[in-house]
Each structure stands twice: as C-alpha cells, then as structure tokens.
C-alpha cells in the first residue's frame, strides 16, 4: 500500500510545476511576527517546503517577492454568494440564471480582495462549488450549506404575509426559494438537514433567532425548539458534518450550545454566561460587524425597509462588545462579513472595524488559522506550512502594522494564488 502511494506520487510529481518564492517576509499567523530569510516551494496545488535555508530546485520557476510580505490567503467564514440583493425579498424576482451570473461576479470580487476561501452560510449549492473547482468560473474555494433551514415565520421564511401556502411547496424557481428552507418539527428538520447533506453541504445552517433582513420575526424571537436543533445536530454528526446557527441573543445562543451546535453566526447580543458556555463546549463565534455598518450607511438606497433597519440598530451596538466578551471568555472568533448584494465590496472593512478592540494579529488569525479550524481544515488552509494548499498572498507592506492593506479591492496585493495557480501576479 505504502509503496503504491509513493509510486503514484512520484509519477505525478514529474508533471507538477514548481514555483519557488524568494525574498519575502513570512507572515505565518501561528507565529505572529514577520520572519526574514525563508523560502517557500509550491508544487502543484500544495506548499511542499518552507525553509530558513535556501531551497534547491532546478526545475522551479523563481518568484522574487521584492521584500514584500507573504501570507496565507484570507478566509471569510460567513458569506452568501447567491444573496445578490440587499433587500433579500427582491430575490423573489431573480431567476436562477441571473442569480448565478451575479454570484460569479461577487465571487470574483472576493478573490480579488484576497479571499481564497469562503464559507457560504446559506444559498450556495454544489453546482456553483463544482463550477469553481472545475475552473468554469473564477472564485474562492467554497464551503457550502445549501439552503438555510428555519421554522415557519423564521429568518429563512421568505413568504409575504399575503401568502397562505404552507411552507415553500410552491412551484417557484427563483433565487429566494432556491436558497431558503422552511421546516417544522423534528422529522421535517431532520429531513431538511439530510437533504442539504445529500446535496453536498459542508455544514448545516439553522435559524435560532430573529434576523435583520427578514421583516416579520422579532430579533429576540426564539426560532428552532430544542428538539428541532438536536435533530439537526444529530443528523449533521451522523453525516460527519456540523451545525452552524444564526443567533443574536443569549437565549438563542444558549439553546444552540446546549443542543450541540458548533458555530454561532453573528452573536452580537451575547452575554458573559452564553460566552462561557460556548467556551466550555469548544464552540466558535463567527462575527460579521461590517454587515451592520454597511446596512446602516447604505442599505436604504438598495431598498432595505425601515423595519429591517430598525432591527439593524438593535444589533450594531453589540458588535464590538461581543468581540470583547468572547475574548475574555476564551471563545475563538472567526472572520465573517455577511454582506448582501452591492454591499459586498465592503468585505475587507471588517479588519478595520475589529481593530478598535482586537489586535491586528488576532484579526488576521480570525481570517486564517481560526477560520481553518471552523472549516476543519487545520494545516491545509490558513497557514503556510508544508502540506497546506498553496493559497498565498503577496502584500505590499506589513498587515500586522497596517490592516488597511487589505482595503481597496486588492490594490495592495501584488500576488494572489489559489491552489498553486496565480489569480493575480504583478511581481514581474
Ligand atoms: Zn448570513
């Protein structure tokens, strides 16, 4: 068995291109300061070697980084590539062809900003994931949830009040019906979770409290009941997946934590007790402060309604405080943005917003090493060590001193590589 593997490796190796990165400052997020004198060899889609000595490889093409910073590609743990409207109700009028075309543009923007991996928390399906993997469209690696699952009247129930159909058993084929799921009771939740995983979901997304972008559910409403959450968690675990839960309030977070949910999305209104419980359970918070700032500033012009914006005001204040509470409690916080439609250009602003209360190193870790833990891809993503995917950025400066280097739609990134292939390279 072992001999076999070595042989096939050897054979593949003969055809793999090698790239040797030189003359850079290494930003390995686990280390936390820039390191001089390293070289890094990429072979195929993988980092083969990182060494303090010069790496000898006759066949390799040499990439001179000109003294810039080399770091892992960024990971955003909360995006929606199919939610291309700021008022997501408008998705009702968007056919899937148009939704897909818009997703392609949104994903290109993400990788242009240096996000080589994103975790979609509702909407993206295996088709768009495969389109990226096969190279049909340009975009970051996708980890997907399929449809977001919530109860009748919850954050993922897109029906108007004039719609008396039960659930989403309509014959609609639009971006709204495609991305959201309504299920009630243990057996329906179980079935919906299984269905998403049958469709290739990497994680199961459920709704535990009200949300901003849904008009009818109060923010502090409790959504899935304990037995419904437990059913989703049981099914996700049985399939080797996990549950991520949309939740704002301590009550919703606590209910999710007690039922075995692994990540809390948003969590703005978290308190010390809920954070302590999360830490005890080994959970993660995926925060996304920028979404609330961007909505407050610009969502009205894209048709977000006053009742939604009123709910936005309830959570925006909690954002920075939630980061401080989680830090004290020892809950790791991953990078998220959760921006809808045209607001997605603000994706990298989360770095700057968080820097009010968190150090640049911690924020960079939230978008690299911690994000990789969320994705269960430790050692493969979010790091530059040997054996990781060759997802790299060459940055024109030191992000540990200046997080604004991630702003301006990638202007300060001289090179972006995903899986050993340059998405951008202006080093020569
Ligand atoms: Zn979201």
Which string of DSSP letters, residue by residue, matches 22-72? ES-EE--TTT-S-B-S-EEEEETTEEEEEESSPPP-TTPEEEE-TT-EEEE
Pair (67, 153) in one structural domain: no
Question: How many whole angstroms from 21 Cα to the centroid of ligand 1?
Answer: 37
Question: How many whole angstroms from 230 Cα to the centroid of ligand 1?
Answer: 21
Question: How many whole angstroms from 388 Cα to the centroid of ligand 1?
Answer: 28
Pair (342, 400) in one structural domain: no
Looking at residue 168, its pLDDT comes to 55
Question: How many whole angstroms from 285 Cα to the centroid of ligand 1?
Answer: 13
Question: How many whole angstroms from 64 Cα to the centroid of ligand 1?
Answer: 39
Question: How many whole angstroms from 266 Cα to the centroid of ligand 1?
Answer: 8
Question: How many whole angstroms from 328 Cα to the centroid of ligand 1?
Answer: 25
CATH number for 25: 2.30.40.10
Question: How many whole angstroms from 422 Cα to the centroid of ligand 1?
Answer: 29
Question: How many whole angstroms from 53 Cα to the centroid of ligand 1?
Answer: 44
CA triplet 195, 200, 203: central angle to 5 degrees?
85
Pair (44, 135) in one structural domain: no
Question: How many whole angstroms from 367 Cα to the centroid of ligand 1?
Answer: 17
Per-residue pLDDT of the chain (428 residues; tens, 9 = 90+): 343 343 344 444 456 899 999 999 999 999 989 999 999 999 999 999 999 999 988 889 999 999 999 999 999 999 999 999 988 889 989 999 999 999 999 999 999 999 999 999 999 999 999 999 999 999 999 999 999 999 999 998 888 888 777 655 555 689 988 999 999 999 999 999 999 999 999 999 999 999 888 888 888 999 999 999 999 999 999 999 999 999 999 999 999 999 999 999 999 999 999 999 999 999 999 999 999 999 999 988 888 888 888 888 889 989 999 999 999 999 999 999 999 999 999 999 999 999 999 999 999 999 999 999 999 999 999 999 999 999 999 999 999 999 999 999 999 999 999 999 999 999 97
Question: How many whole angstroms from 172 Cα to the centroid of ligand 1?
Answer: 22
Asked whether the beta carbons of 151 and 223 are under 8 A apart, the reply is yes
Pair (204, 222) in one structural domain: yes
Boundary of a domain, candidates 374, 397, 415: 374
Question: How many whole angstroms from 212 Cα to the centroid of ligand 1?
Answer: 10
pLDDT for 238-284, tens place per residue? 999 999 999 999 999 999 999 999 999 999 999 999 999 999 999 99
- Give me 113's structure tokens: 């900003």
Domain housing 266: 74-374
Question: How many whole angstroms from 173 Cα to the centroid of ligand 1?
Answer: 21
Boundary of a domain, candidates 354, 374, 394: 374
Pair (166, 199) in one structural domain: yes
Pair (28, 170) in one structural domain: no
Question: How many whole angstroms from 363 Cα to the centroid of ligand 1?
Answer: 20
Confirm whether 137 is domain-assigned.
yes
Question: How many whole angstroms from 78 Cα to the centroid of ligand 1?
Answer: 6
Total domain count for the chain?
2
Question: How many whole angstroms from 246 Cα to the centroid of ligand 1?
Answer: 7
Confirm whether 314 is domain-assigned.
yes
Question: How many whole angstroms from 164 Cα to the centroid of ligand 1?
Answer: 26
Query: Which H or E element spans position 395?
Result: strand 392-395
Would you state the torsion angle of the CA atoms of residues 103, 108, 110, 113, taken in this order, to the nearest 10 degrees? Answer: -160
Looking at residue 173, its pLDDT comes to 80
Question: How many whole angstroms from 121 Cα to the centroid of ligand 1?
Answer: 6
Looking at residue 304, its pLDDT comes to 86
Pair (49, 94) in one structural domain: no
Pair (223, 172) in one structural domain: yes
Question: How many whole angstroms from 288 Cα to the centroid of ligand 1?
Answer: 9
Confirm whether 261 is domain-assigned.
yes
Pair (30, 125) in one structural domain: no
Looking at residue 5, its pLDDT comes to 40
Looking at residue 3, its pLDDT comes to 39
CA distances from 298 to 227, 277, 291, 294 (A): 39, 35, 10, 6
Question: How many whole angstroms from 327 Cα to the centroid of ligand 1?
Answer: 22
Pair (302, 282) in one structural domain: yes
CATH number for 184: 3.20.20.140
Question: How many whole angstroms from 342 Cα to the centroid of ligand 1?
Answer: 15
According to DSSP, residue 270 is labeled: -
Q: Tell me how long the chain is.
A: 428
| Burial annotation 337-365 (CB, 10 A radius, 16+ → b, else e) | bbbbbbbbebbbbbbbbbeebbebebbbb
Question: How many whole angstroms from 313 Cα to the centroid of ligand 1?
Answer: 17
Question: How many whole angstroms from 123 Cα to the centroid of ligand 1?
Answer: 10
Boundary of a domain, candidates 357, 374, 391: 374
Looking at residue 166, its pLDDT comes to 64
Question: How many whole angstroms from 211 Cα to the centroid of ligand 1?
Answer: 9
pLDDT for 202-251, tens place per residue? 999 999 999 888 888 888 999 999 999 999 999 999 999 999 999 999 99
Query: Which H or E element spans position 112?
Result: helix 96-112
Question: How many whole angstroms from 83 Cα to the centroid of ligand 1?
Answer: 9
Looking at residue 182, its pLDDT comes to 93
Token look-up 């909360």 returns 78
Of 81, 78, 88, 77, nearest to 295 by C-alpha is 88
Pair (308, 403) in one structural domain: no
Confirm whether 1 is domain-assigned.
no
Pair (327, 416) in one structural domain: no
């Amino acid at each position: 068995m072992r001999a076999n593997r070595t042989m096939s490796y050897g054979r593949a190796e003969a055809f793999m291109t090698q790239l040797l990165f030189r003359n850079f400052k290494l930003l390995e997020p686990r280390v936390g300061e820039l390191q001089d004198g390293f070289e890094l060899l990429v072979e195929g889609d993988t980092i083969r070697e990182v060494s303090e000595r010069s790496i000898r490889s006759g066949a390799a093409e040499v990439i001179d980084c000109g003294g810039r910073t080399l770091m892992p590609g960024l990971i955003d743990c909360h995006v929606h590539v199919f939610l291309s409207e700021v008022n997501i109700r408008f998705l009702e009028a968007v056919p899937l062809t148009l939704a897909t075309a818009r997703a392609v543009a949104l994903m290109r923007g993400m990788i242009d900003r240096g996000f080589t991996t994103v975790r979609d928390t509702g909407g993206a399906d295996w088709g768009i994931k495969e389109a990226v993997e096969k190279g049909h469209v340009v975009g970051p690696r996708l980890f997907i949830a399929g449809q977001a699952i919530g109860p009748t009247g919850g954050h993922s129930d897109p029906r108007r009040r004039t719609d008396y159909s039960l659930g989403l058993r309509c014959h609609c084929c639009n971006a709204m019906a495609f991305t959201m799921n309504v299920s009630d009771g243990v057996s329906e939740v179980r079935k919906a979770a299984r269905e998403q995983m049958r469709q290739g979901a990497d994680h199961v997304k459920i709704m535990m409290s009200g949300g901003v972008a849904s008009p009818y559910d109060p923010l502090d409403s409790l959504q899935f009941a304990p037995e419904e959450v437990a059913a989703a968690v049981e099914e996700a675990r049985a399939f080797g997946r996990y549950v991520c839960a949309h939740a704002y309030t301590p009550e919703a977070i606590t209910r999710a934590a007690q039922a075995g949910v692994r990540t809390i999305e948003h969590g703005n209104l978290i308190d010390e007790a809920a954070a302590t419980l999360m830490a005890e359970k080994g959970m993660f918070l995926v925060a996304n402060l920028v979404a609330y700032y961007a909505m407050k500033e610009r969502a009205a012009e894209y048709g977000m309604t006053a009742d939604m914006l009123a709910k936005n005001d309830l959570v925006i204040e909690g954002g920075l405080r939630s980061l401080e509470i989680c830090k004290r409690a020892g809950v790791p916080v991953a990078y998220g943005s959760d921006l809808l439609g045209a607001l997605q250009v603000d994706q990298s602003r989360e770095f700057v917003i968080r820097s009010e209360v968190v150090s640049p190193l911690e924020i960079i870790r939230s978008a690299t090493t911690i994000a990789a833990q969320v994705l269960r891809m430790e050692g493969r993503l979010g790091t530059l060590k040997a054996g990781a995917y060759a997802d790299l950025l060459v940055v024109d400066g030191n992000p540990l001193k200046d997080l604004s280097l991630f702003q301006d739609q990638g202007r300060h990134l001289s090179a972006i590589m995903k899986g050993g292939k340059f998405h951008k390279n202006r080093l020569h």
